Structure 1
Amino acid sequence: MTAFILVSGAHTGDWVWEEVAGRLRESGAEVHPVTLTGMGDRRHLAGPNTDLDTHIEDVVELIDQVEAPEVVLVGHCYGIHPVLGAAGRRPERIARIVHLDAGLPQDGDPALKLVPDQAVRDRLAQDAGPVGRTGDGWRVPPPPPGEWHRWGSVAGVPEAALARLSERAAPQPVRTLTQPLRLPEAVAALPTTGVLCTANGSSIGMVETVLRLGDPRFLALVDPRVTFFELDTGHWPMLSVPGELTGVLLRAAAGEGYRLSAPGGERPGHLRAFLLDVPERPRERVGRVDLYLPDADGPRPAVVFVHGGPVPAGARPTPRDWPAFTGYGRYVAQLGAVGVTVDHRLHDLTDYERAAEDVAEAVALVRADPRVDGDRVALWFFSGGGPLSADWLAAPPPWLRCVAATYPILLPPPSWGLSGPRFRPADAVRSAGRLPVVLTRVGLEVAEIAVTVEAFLTAAEECGADVEVIDVPDGHHGFETLDHTEQARDAVRHAVRSVLGHLRS
């Protein structure tokens, strides 16, 4: 018999697992939903010294009481921290660890690092006082009703369940979120399953994309003992799709699931050749900025290409040397404008503010160049760089003649933690006025990205924004190097002509 130990996220208790636990028991499994110290009906046991070790010990004690030969630990959100800590102390008892819409904490990471919302992280960091602090300073209140989405998407959760979530939520001891997690090497050897909730912004396809970029943190995921499942729901699948989640947990315990493949010997998609045969052009490198110069006298308009991400800090080559961006830079220069690429520092989801500063600095550098007509500049955003367009859409300067976006993310997924008013192009477009926007949309887009594009277009239509949509029906995300079709080539030519047309009008 398999025993499931279910550990929920911050502010909750064993009660969130009621439907899933009942269904698992009906299947013949042994089930132990956990109420951690200070949570649920054990909230009276919390104190200023309640920390992550306290919660780890809660799970260890339960493991020691279970007689079943196979123990599957399931950690949801914050719950993955005590789950991994307990697995490190009893690795011989654990058959599998399930990350239920949870991150991949590394040794030394506090749970605070994985809280998605920046505003929440900032508040928790301020609340994290010295050990022994008394009063409410040692615990964090749960989100007020209506704000649970700041911890993750509530898509699919019935209103009654949301109300119950608020009614039964308990304050979280701060030290459970700020104490670093310590992971023995034995944990890395345990079989693992990731259950990704697509409405919260994660999917197998997105994991594979990051893996191809060479992020070393993800290389361990190609181990055959690691499997994946997707659920088409938000961050609370035990409340939104308990039946589907039950089936996934049973299959995970049996070792089933999708397995990632290691990047093969073939060239990764983002490093394949650009779909247009564009001749070499003079290129100048200034710091993080490259300029592709046309054969022309006098100042020329400029197009600044802003890559997506996050891109791992150690990725080589860096985006400005990827064939797509060298191709776009050369193509624009061939047609008489200055092509500009920039290596901004979007290495993690927490880096958007820094990346925005890098882009603003690059634009200032370009406009100050005597070979550039500083009153005729376009900004072109790609993929995960899409949120960086919001600043420019919200308050377009007079010299900005056009904003372009290609397979962009235009409304950050809930799991990204960008819930503030900034970095939300689908909202910012309402302030864009008559600024032309050229949007290239691919038909074979990742669903989690496609929905953000539709949200942007809906907002644009409602406010009468000037948006031109260029469709690539058979195109993939990154089609400039993946799809060498005439349809794809026409789309690139069309988009570049439109952008340059706005610069010259």
Structure 2
Amino acid sequence: MANFVLVAGARLGSWAWAEVVPYLGAAGHGVHPLTLSGLAEKQGVPAGQQTHVQDIVDEVERQGLRDVVLVGHSYSGIPVGQAAGRIGDRLARVVFVDASVPADGEPFVSAWPDGGAMVRASIAENRGFWPVAAAAHYKGHGLTDEQIARIVGGSTPHPGATLTEPAALERPLGDLPATYIKCTLGDPEPSDDVAKLLTSEHWRLFEMDTGHWPMFSQPSELAQILLAVAGE
């Protein structure tokens, strides 16, 4: 059986996986949703990007997990992709859920069209944090009004340094056993960096006909893909 370590995207905590966890547990797998430093119930804990990488590595090592399926959603693909290269033979597979992927020496914001200028400005204006997004940010992603309210209500400002500090890869991402889950609603094609990685024999692609937060909009469908991945 696999051990899933689930890491949600910016502003979110372990609570975001609440509707996915039961499906994975019912199939007999270990399930470990993780809140990164500075977010949700860990709000107030100082965090840079390497803090988040270490959060993930520490969770795996502290619990003595093996056959680990590391799952990173959105922003969390950045620390998850780095952590995957640091847990050695404990890793079974890394899964990127509509996620950013790290590039060695580059920060999360470098992939933004303006090079991250707007995000950096927002962080500077908000005392070092990326503020919580308004409800309008989540429109057009297959979410109900109730689901949007739950996301907004549970979100916390995101530690800015985690978005602007550079990634440090110990293994090339293309060498890792990896699955990319592309949410196609409104944005059907993988980004160029992901498309390049998908040419690796170690990577494979799944698509979901929903928006960027499938753990809310299609939790059962997301869980079924994760279970398929664990069975590979």
TM-score above 0.5, yes or no: yes
CA positional deviation for 1:33: 0.6
> Do structure 1's residue 60 and structure 2's residue 57 form an aligned pair?
yes
Give the equivalent residue in structure 2 for 1:142: 132
CA contact (8 A) 1:9 1:76 kept: yes
Q: Deviations over 1:28-60 (max 9, x none)?
A: 110111111111111132x3xx21011111111
1:56 partner SS: helix
CA contact (8 A) 1:94 1:190 kept: no
Give the equivalent residue in structure 2 for 1:121: 116
In 1: Cα distance, 2:96 partner to 2:48 partner: 21
**Identity of matched residues, %:** 35
In 2: Cα distance, 1:254 partner to 1:222 partner: 22
Larger Rg: 1
CA positional deviation for 1:192: 0.5
Residue from 166, 175, 181 that aligns with 1:195:
181
Give the equivalent residue in structure 2 for 1:254: 231
CA contact (8 A) 1:85 1:183 kept: yes
> Do structure 1's residue 234 and structure 2's residue 208 form an aligned pair?
no
Give the equivalent residue in structure 1 for 2:143: 157
CA positional deviation for 1:197: 0.6
Aligned ranges 1:269-280 → 2 under 5 Å: none
2:102 partner SS: coil
CA positional deviation for 1:225: 2.0
2:43 partner SS: helix
CA contact (8 A) 2:81 2:101 kept: no
Give the aligned residue type for 2:131: P
Q: Deviations over 1:259-292 (max 9, x none)?
A: xxxxxxxxxxxxxxxxxxxxxxxxxxxxxxxxxx
Q: Deviations over 1:192-231 (max 9, x none)?
A: 001011104134xx67xx7xxxx8x744423332111110
CA positional deviation for 1:155: 2.1
CA contact (8 A) 1:95 1:190 kept: no
Give the equivalent residue in structure 2 for 1:479: none
Residue from 82, 85, 96 that aligns with 1:85:
82
Give the equivalent residue in structure 2 for 1:25: 25
CA positional deviation for 1:96: 0.6
CA positional deviation for 1:111: 1.0
Give the aligned residue type for 1:21: V
Name the TM-score, length of structure 1 as normaliser. Answer: 0.43
Give the equivalent residue in structure 2 for 1:4: 4
2:61 partner SS: helix
Give the equivalent residue in structure 1 for 2:167: 181
> Do structure 1's residue 43 and structure 2's residue 43 form an aligned pair?
yes
Greater RCO structure (CA 8 Å; 6+ sep): 2
In 2: Cα distance, 1:89 partner to 1:69 partner: 13
Give the aligned residue type for 2:162: T
- Which sections of structure 2, spanning at least 5 residues, go unmatched? none
Give the aligned residue type for 1:143: A
Give the equivalent residue in structure 1 for 2:98: 101
In 1: Cα distance, 2:8 partner to 2:68 partner: 16
CA positional deviation for 1:187: 4.4
Give the aligned residue type for 1:248: I
CA contact (8 A) 2:78 2:100 kept: no
In 2: Cα distance, 1:159 partner to 1:114 partner: 30
1:19 partner SS: coil
1:193 partner SS: strand
Q: Deviations over 1:329-348 (max 9, x none)?
A: xxxxxxxxxxxxxxxxxxxx
CA contact (8 A) 1:4 1:30 kept: yes
CA positional deviation for 1:115: 4.8
2:38 partner SS: coil
Give the aligned residue type for 1:144: A
Give the equivalent residue in structure 2 for 1:224: 201
1:201 partner SS: coil
Residue from 96, 108, 118 that aligns with 1:111:
108
CA contact (8 A) 1:52 1:176 kept: yes
In 1: Cα distance, 2:123 partner to 2:136 partner: 25
Give the equivalent residue in structure 2 for 1:15: 15
CA contact (8 A) 1:127 1:137 kept: no
CA positional deviation for 1:145: 2.5
- Which sections of structure 1, spanning at least 5 residues, go unmatched? 130-134, 256-505
Give the aligned residue type for 1:76: H
CA contact (8 A) 1:101 1:194 kept: yes
Give the equivalent residue in structure 1 for 2:71: 74
